Every structure is written in structure tokens, then in C-alpha cells.
Structure 1
Amino acid sequence: MNLPLRLPGSPAQEPTTIGGYVLAISKALQASGVDSTRVLKAVGVPLTMTNDPLSRLPVSTLTRLFRACVDVTGNPYFGLTVGRFIHISNLHALGYALAASADLMEFCQRLERYFRLASQTCEIKVVESDHALSLHVRLLVDVCAETEDAFFTFIVLAMRQLYRPDFNPLRVALSHPQPGEGAAPYEALFRAPVSFGQPGPMVALPKADVHNPLIGACAELAQLNDNLSNTYLARLEKGDVVTRARQKIIEFLPNGSCTRDKVASALAMSPTTLQFKLAERETSFHDLLDATRKELSTGYVRQSALSITEITFLLGFSDTSNFTRAFKRWQGVSPTAFREGAKPASA
């Protein structure tokens, strides 16, 4: 049974996933020799689903669809098959931003920030240790095993495509039980130890690989799609004050007038109300402004066409010395040193 997802201050509503997942499922059915149109109609899934972030499917419907697919194909590993057919375009702006990430660290951080655009079923947290970078998934609702399998398959295969074909995670943990037919297909795909029935799904990556460049790295494209992801999230999560405030901060920063009063006015509330609502989410306007500037700053600095002075004003700082001090606090090095190849300090 799927539990309702509630954002603080919003009415209960069932979480949804982007329609692009349906396109990947359809391709997986066709590859299995099954008429996808017949299955979609039987489950009641609209045939008009697209990659548009606002074209959404309720999680309960997605679960019914996956169960029907397993029944009709007789494949207990159908989720792994679907993961092979998820293309970056199925995740819209998030997918294109992932493809343009500078390294696996940025790739993972984008999943953490923007995965709600693809699915509202979970929260993703990046955890860094001495030897590994891990993506931990906190499920907000019950999801079927196929949903979990498709997600981790897509993540690992995308990393291999963007980084190296021989790249392997250190380990993968899944919350669902091991299929009765065994774990061999999982181990063959992930080429890593896989555990089942774990409290929280996760994938651990070798720390030595996470700062190496990806083949599609393009800071400008990544930044454009990050901004587009923020815009769509603000439209999708109208009751989420953090998402809406962040979108307005991004909009106002280049004008040099990004204040709490202005953001509150744009959200049709008083500054006091905004601060109260942010406090309910365990943050503040100052913290949100600082975090947003930090997220934007590395993408801007990686764009060689932008001077440090231009970046200073794009981020709403009054002068370059203020920006440089803030960047050193965030990354441990100056913007110039970062641009010249100095690795950022651990977050």
C-alpha cells in the first residue's frame, strides 16, 4: 500500500513520477516481445505520457503497471530491464544536467537536489567518507521492487556511459527481498556485491573515481538545466516554500536585489511569514541564500567564458572580495585556484 506524501504545510496528496518512466517501460515491454499499448490500456495508463516534468503518473498506478509487466513477461527481473531503457531525456532537465556534470560528485549532488523532479517517492542524500561516496535513499512511500531496481540500474549504467564502461560501484543495497530465482542478474549487472532486505537502499562508489572528469562535462549546459529543474520543481511543488523561495532567489540574484523582503513579496507573503515557514523546514532565508549561491558558484566558475567579476554580480555579491571569501568558505580554495584545477575541499 502506498502511503501519502505530505510536504510541510501542504494537503495530503499521492506522490507521482515523471511520465518518462512510462516511455522506458514501454520500450522494455516491446523488447520483451509484448505489445506495450495493450498493457498500458489494461492498467489504465494514458498513452499520452511524455518526458514533460508536469506529465505525471501516480505511484500506485506505476506499481500496478510494473506488476502487470512482470506477469505478462514472466520476468522477475523486469525492473533491471527497464533501467536499461531509461534515457537521460526521460528525466527532462534533470537528465540533461546529469549528462553535463563535471564529475561523479556533481552527478550525485544533482540527484540529491533535483530527483524530486523525476519522482516524489524518496529523498536522496550524498554521504562522503574516506573511501567511498554513497547515495542513500530514504523512501517516503512504499515502492515496488521493480521501481527500486530500475532506479539503481539507470544510475550505474549512466555512470558507466558518462565516465568509464569498466566503472563498478563498491556495493549496492536494496530494501526489497531477494527474488526467489537468485541474485545472479543483479551481480552481473552491477558487477559488485548486492545485499537485499536492507533498511535503506544505497549505492557506494569508490572515492578515487568521484572527482575524475566525465565525457559530457559542460558547466554552461549543466547550469541552464539546473535552473530549468528549479523552475519546474517550483511549479510542481507549489506548496513547498523552500523550492519556491529558491527559485525566486535564483531569479533575483543577478539583479543585486535578492532580499528576504523581495522574495517574500514575490511569494505573496510577509517577510515574517516567510521566515516562519522556512523555520518549519529547519532552514532560514540566510541559509537558503547561502546554499543557493554555493550550488550556483561552482558551475559558474567552471565556465571559462565568465570572468570572476561577472560571476560576482551573477551571484549578487557587491564586490569580488566578498565573493572570494564566500567561495573559499564553501570550497576551501579561491575561485581562481578552483578554475585552474584545484580540487575542492570535502563538503
Structure 2
Amino acid sequence: MSQTPVLPEPTTLTSVARVVADTLREAYGQDPAPVLAAAGLDEAGLHAPRGRSVAAAMQRLWQGAVRTTGDAGFGLRAGEHIRPVTFSVLGVTWMASGTLREALQRLCRYSHVISTQPHQLRLDTDTDPAWLHFEYPAKLLLEPAVIVDALFAAVVTLARMVTRPAFAPAALRLRHGDTTRSGAYQRLFACPVSFGETTDAMAFSAAQLDTILVGHESEVVRTATLEAERYLQGMRLSPLATEVRHLLVQLLPSGDAALEEIARRLDRGVSTVQRQLQDEGLSYRQLLEATRRTLAEGYLADRRLSLGEVTYLLGFADQSSFSRAFSRWYGASPRRYRDGLHAGPAGGR
């Protein structure tokens, strides 16, 4: 019998779902209750302090919001509704940081407070302008462009709170190629925006990064940073486990997600990675199985992906190998699981 995967199911702060509900109600005049119910969420439960919702339900919520409003630009509107409190302790570190550079660095370091869905926020300061990159497995997200829009809209909204209302980034690059809403991007970001790029990234000049923020409180930053560290530890998200899982998501489709390749990319020896994971009560095999299981759930929820494509994305040699592994995890074949996932009116399980 295989060991139970040790990674918890990905979750997102429930306060993000509250932002989606508020945006539906305030910006579109829509009742969010049916959209929340279809995603498997209850509005009454969105106000729990530091509450967390299963990331798969959040994916369905974003998708439902776009369908209900008929607005592919829903993420831009939602991002404008985000406030520091939305991001819990991470919002506190943002508001109290000394410079925009420090605020963005903390956003990158503690982004998994917001969501433990596989992703990476990375601030590249080797060039001027510097670039804030948002990296994620696109096929795992039901509405990737909407989530990218919401993230960058939130960054700009929060930056304007601690700098000046007219703050504008240096540039924005987006992977999606939909230029029909270019005017909406220009109105919100007030900077050059390019579409069909190879990355999702926002640029900041060196002068912008060094801007002194109006709410800087060094003692508050220290306290909030420690709390953010404890928060991540409480979710059993060690930096190494997070890095390994992120690399697995990237490498599984290539078929070269072996421990040796993981260690090479981490610039560590294989034995070092094994020992450090063991110190955390983990192993490479456990992380591999847990990551595959989590990804499989998300991929099967997206009917646009065939079972053959899911097999490829998870790095299995053939569909029968994937089917055997999935049946071991869930007691049902991938096809039967997918059919059950979409059987009910709410689309939930």
C-alpha cells in the first residue's frame, strides 16, 4: 500500500472569494450567491478570520464570475476591489514596508499565504526596469488570464495606497493575446501594455522601487514578517518543499522530473536534497505523488483537456499507468471521476 501523500490540498484565502463576491455585487449588480453555490462555496462562510477555501473551488468561482458577467476582464475589476486586509498578514507587511522594493520582495516571499496553488512570484532586479514575474502552470487554471489580471490589478491598487494615487508601473507584459480590451488595461495601469508575450510580468523603474512608502513602521514589519513565517509553517509549506513542488509542476510534462534533475536545478547535491527533505519528514517520492494527485484533480476538472493530455502533463509514460495510479488514489478511474465531478448542477464533488 502506498503512503498517503503528505502535502495538503491547495487552498486560497477565503477573503479572495469575498472580493469576487463583492465585485459581482458592487461592480456588476449581480447576486453572488448562485455563483458561490455553483463553486461549492457559501457566502456566510467567507468572513472567517484567515479562513481558507479549497483552491479548486476558487477556480470554479473565477470561472463562474466570468460566465455570469460575460466579462473576460472581470479580473481587472476584482483586483481593484482588493484591500490589504484581503491578504491577511501579508497585507500588513505590504503596508508597513519601507520601500516598494521591500513590499514586492515580501509579496514574492509570502505569496503562498494567499494561495498554495503551485505558482511563483519572482522580482528580477538585475535590469532597469525590474520585472515582477508571475509564473504558474497555465493548464492548471480554469481562467489563467483572469487570475493574472486580478493579481497585477491588486499590485497596482495596493501600490497606489502606499505611494500616490497616480502611481503607474513602467510596463506590463501579458501572455494572453486578447487585445480587444486594451483600453481597459490602459485605463487601469496607465502604462505600455503588450500582449502575446512569453511571460506575465510587470515592470518597475529603480526609482519606483526605492520610493519611500507612507505607512512604514519597522516594528510592525518585524512582527508581521515573523507571523507570516509562522503562518506558512503552520500550513507545512517549507521553502524547500515549495521549491521542489514548483519544479515538479514545471518538469513533469517533459518526462524529466527525476530527483537528480530537481537537485541540479536547486544547485544542490542529491543526497543534500534527500537529507533536507527527510529532516522535514518528507521524501521526493511523497512529494512527487502528492503533486501529481493535486494536479490531476485540477486537470480533470477542465474538460478542455483530454485524458491523454492529462497523462502527458503529469509525466506518466502512458494512460494505463496514470489510470492505475489515479484508481489507487481515489478508488475510481480518471474518466469516472471526471464524470462524477461534472454530474451535479453545482459542478462540485
TM-score w.r.t. the length of structure 1 is: 0.64
1:79 aligns with 2:79: no
Identical residues among aligned pairs (%): 27
- Equivalent residues in 2 for 1:141-160 (5 A)? 142-143=140-141, 144=143, 145-160=145-160
Counterpart in the other structure of 1:240: 238
Deviation of 1:20 after TM superposition, in Å, equals 1.0
Q: Write the distance in 1 (CA, Å) between the matches of 2:190 and 2:149.
A: 14
- Equivalent residues in 2 for 1:1-347 (5 A)? 11=6, 14-31=9-26, 32-47=28-43, 48-50=45-47, 52-53=49-50, 55-121=51-117, 122-140=119-137, 142-143=140-141, 144=143, 145-178=145-178, 181-236=180-235, 238=236, 240=238, 242=240, 276-277=275-276
Instruction: Indicate the SS of the match to 1:136.
Output: strand
Q: Structure 1 segments of 4 or more deviating over 6 A? A: 272-275
Q: Write the distance in 2 (CA, Å) between the matches of 1:28 and 1:128.
A: 33
CA contact (8 A) 2:241 2:277 kept: no
Against the structure 1 CA distance between its residues 138 and 51, is the aligned structure 2 distance closer, same or farther, given a 3 Å change threshold? farther
1:215-257 Cα offsets, whole Å, 9 max, x none, are: 1111111111111111110011x2637589xxxxxxxxxxxxx
Instruction: Indicate the SS of the match to 1:157.
Output: helix
Against the structure 1 CA distance between its residues 102 and 39, is the aligned structure 2 distance closer, same or farther, given a 3 Å change threshold? same
For structure 1, which runs of at least 5 residues remain unmatched after alignment?
1-8, 245-271, 282-347
Against the structure 1 CA distance between its residues 173 and 279, is the aligned structure 2 distance closer, same or farther, given a 3 Å change threshold? farther
TM-score w.r.t. the length of structure 2 is: 0.63
Amino acid of the structure 2 residue aligned with 1:126: L
Counterpart in the other structure of 1:252: none
Q: Write the distance in 1 (CA, Å) between the matches of 2:80 and 2:94.
A: 16
CA contact (8 A) 1:172 1:195 kept: yes
Amino acid of the structure 1 residue aligned with 2:110: Y
Q: Write the distance in 2 (CA, Å) between the matches of 1:168 and 1:90.
A: 22
Against the structure 1 CA distance between its residues 60 and 275, is the aligned structure 2 distance closer, same or farther, given a 3 Å change threshold? closer
Instruction: Indicate the SS of the match to 2:98.
Output: coil
Q: Write the distance in 2 (CA, Å) between the matches of 1:120 and 1:164.
A: 31
Root mean square deviation of aligned Cα = 2.8
Q: Write the distance in 2 (CA, Å) between the matches of 1:176 and 1:280.
A: 41
Q: How many residues align?
A: 243
Instruction: Indicate the SS of the match to 1:124.
Output: strand
1:26-54 Cα offsets, whole Å, 9 max, x none, are: 1101111011123212321132024644x
Amino acid of the structure 1 residue aligned with 2:11: T
CA contact (8 A) 2:100 2:213 kept: yes
Instruction: Indicate the SS of the match to 1:119.
Output: coil
For structure 2, which runs of at least 5 residues remain unmatched after alignment?
243-270, 281-349
Q: Write the distance in 2 (CA, Å) between the matches of 1:10 and 1:225.
A: 31
1:181-240 Cα offsets, whole Å, 9 max, x none, are: 33110111111122223332111101112112101111111111111111110011x263
1:282-309 Cα offsets, whole Å, 9 max, x none, are: xxxxxxxxxxxxxxxxxxxxxxxxxxxx
Instruction: Indicate the SS of the match to 2:123.
Output: strand
Amino acid of the structure 2 residue aligned with 1:230: E
CA contact (8 A) 1:139 1:200 kept: no
